Amino acid sequence: MHKLMLLGLFAAACTAVDPGAGDETSAPAPGSTRVLHVLHANDGSVAPVPPPTEASQALLPPSATPLGTAFPGPGNRISYQGGPVLANPKAYVVFYGSWSARLSQVTLVENYLRGLGSTAYWAINGTYTDANHAVGPITFGGDYLDARTSPPEPFEVVNQAISAGHLPYDYAGIYIVVTSPEVDVSQLGSNICGWHTEAVVTPQLAPLHYGFVSEKTSGCSWPFPTANGAAVDGMISALTHELEESATDPNLDAYTDETDDGENADKCAWDSSDETRFQFLAPNGGKANMTVGGNNFFIQPNWVNGSGGYCGMAADRKRIAIQIPSTPGGSVSGSGVSCSGVECDFLYLTNSVLTYTVTPPSGFHLQSWTNCDSLSGNTCTLTLNTDRGILPNFSRNASCHVDTSCYNQCNLENCDDLPVRQRVQCQAVCRNSCTVCQ
């Protein structure tokens, strides 16, 4: 789907786009004007407001991945539809409304966008590729202050900024209109928090990618104190959400969910409980999970297109599938988890050293492990440097019984003529040979 956004102001940053940016055509020269006549626009889906609490998304459901196949079997739960991604995305912002009284927030957003592309967080988008390239680091193209406060039509706001030469027409650009809290936007902050879309314009050289986000003190702010205030960080998280989706699904024909959870950022929208290892308290006591440009922010995770798919702040985890034969069963425990089902999937940091011990089912013993690096008794040890599956293999314990006729025959052996002690030992050896095991 298509949701959440925000940006910063530094007017008249109208530099030409670098030619040769992937398959994206260069923009007109700075200062040139171009009136964009929209032929059609696809409305992006809207984001839900943040819930008061969110369930953890640390572990994902079993994938039923058979050993010997490319892991993971079910894919990453987001489908490639064949369209292009943006190899060199560039963020542009139109601050619409009363931003002259919030210039510190404008600067905060500008510095965030200047540093976002070099973070491990943005690198998650590099897991999204088309036939020619992957999504690359995002750069900040510039912004413009539009002081109007009437309800905006985002395409016209962007169109006017480009036509007047305040911003360049950049085919790799993502243009976000960010409204101040005073601007009355129907439904924003109650039913939606933002969206992105594309429009085909004339001359029809490439679609124009644009979107919409607002700073709202309710509905689209985090439900707890954050480093820059719940509404500001909610706006920046929403902005980031829309930039991510515009980069991985710019024309609404590249990456969407296999079910109905929308685009990549939709799958992690307003998730504040996952990836707690990144979270810390800012100097003012507010929650944060990223430091960009010297400032702290609280940003939602993004969907990693790898290892079966997961919400993360970095693409630094691998998945292991522990598979147990349904017959006869058994259980495996270790490295902080336990598994007694047919298959259990877990995510760990890349290159984690894991140790698992198997408990065979009654009447069986461990014969071998599949896909372990080293073995010690019932224990498997491995380094998780790639997605992998492990499997314990069991053998039935030997079933033994005494052959009665053989046992009785031992009383008739040539033991009776021996001294008593030797006779007992002779009969014991004979009777032991009568034990038959299968």
Provide DSSP, 213-246. EE--SSSSS-SS-BTT-HHHHHHHHHHHHHHHHH
Q: Assess contact for 14 and 142: CB atoms under 8 A.
A: yes
Domain coordinates in residue numbering, the chain? 37-312, 317-396, 400-437
**pLDDT at 28 > cutoff 60:** no
Predicted model pTM: 0.77
Residue 70 reports pLDDT greater than 70 = no
pLDDT at site 204: 57
Let me know: does 90 contact 174? Beta carbons within 8 Å. Answer: yes
Burial class for 261, CB neighbours closer than 10 Å (0-12, 13-18, 19+): middle
- Given this model, what pLDDT does residue 422 score? 76
Q: Concatenated DSSP letters for 170-206?
A: -TTEEEEEEE-TTS--TTBTTTBSEEEEEEEEES-SS
Least confident piece of the model among 103-112, 136-145, 203-212, 292-301 = 203-212
pLDDT at 54: 32
**The tokens of 62 are what?**
């079993």
The residue with greater pLDDT, 430 or 4, is 430
d(CA 385, CA 239): 33
| pLDDT score recorded for residue 437 | 66
What's the pLDDT at 337? 87
In this prediction, residues 330-350 reach a mean pLDDT of 88
Q: What is the pLDDT of residues 203-255, one digit of tens each?
A: 556 788 999 998 877 778 899 999 999 999 999 999 999 999 999 999 989 99
**Looking at residue 7, what is its pLDDT?**
26
Angle subtended at Cα 176 by Cα 170 and Cα 181, rounded to the nearest 5 degrees: 155
- DSSP symbol at 403: -
Tokens of 111: 């510095």
Helix, strand or coil for residue 247?
Answer: helix
Phi and psi dihedrals of 413, rounded to 5? -70, 175
How confident is the model over 136-155, as a mean pLDDT?
94
50-64, 91-105, 207-221, range with the lowest pLDDT: 50-64
Of the pLDDT bands very low, low, confident and very high (cuts 50, 70, 90), residue 8 is very low
Residue 11 has pLDDT above 60, yes or no: no
CA nearest neighbour of 96 among 61, 29, 143, 163: 143
Mean pLDDT of the region 360-381: 93
Mean pLDDT of the 317-340 span: 89
Question: Which has the closest alpha carbon to 303: 241, 252, 353, 377?
Answer: 241
pLDDT tens readout for residues 12-27: 222 222 222 233 222 3
Could you identify the residue written with the tokens 């998730």? Answer: 271
pLDDT at residue number 175: 96
Tokens read off for 154: 């985002």
Give the residue-averaged pLDDT of 133-155: 95
Signed CA dihedral, 301, 80, 199, 186: sign only:
negative
Closest CA to 389 of 112, 66, 92, 150: 66
Mean pLDDT confidence for 271-298 = 94
Distance CA 234, CA 219 (A): 9
**Six-digit token string for 358:** 């198997």
Amino acid residing at 371: N
- Cβ 224 vs Cβ 232: under 8 Å: no
β-bridge partners, 202: 37
Highest mean pLDDT among 20-29, 375-384, 409-418: 375-384
End-to-end CA distance of the chain: 61
Higher pLDDT, 350 or 220: 350
Report the pLDDT value the prediction gives residue 158, as an integer from 0 to 100.
93
How many degrees, rounded to 5, is the angle at CA 364 between CA 361 and CA 366?
Answer: 95
pLDDT at 265 over 60: yes
Q: Which whole number is the average pLDDT over 88-112?
A: 97
Average pLDDT, the chain: 79
pLDDT at position 35, please?
40
One of 3.10.20, 1.10.10, 1.20.950, 1.10.3470 is the CATH number of 317-396, namely: 3.10.20
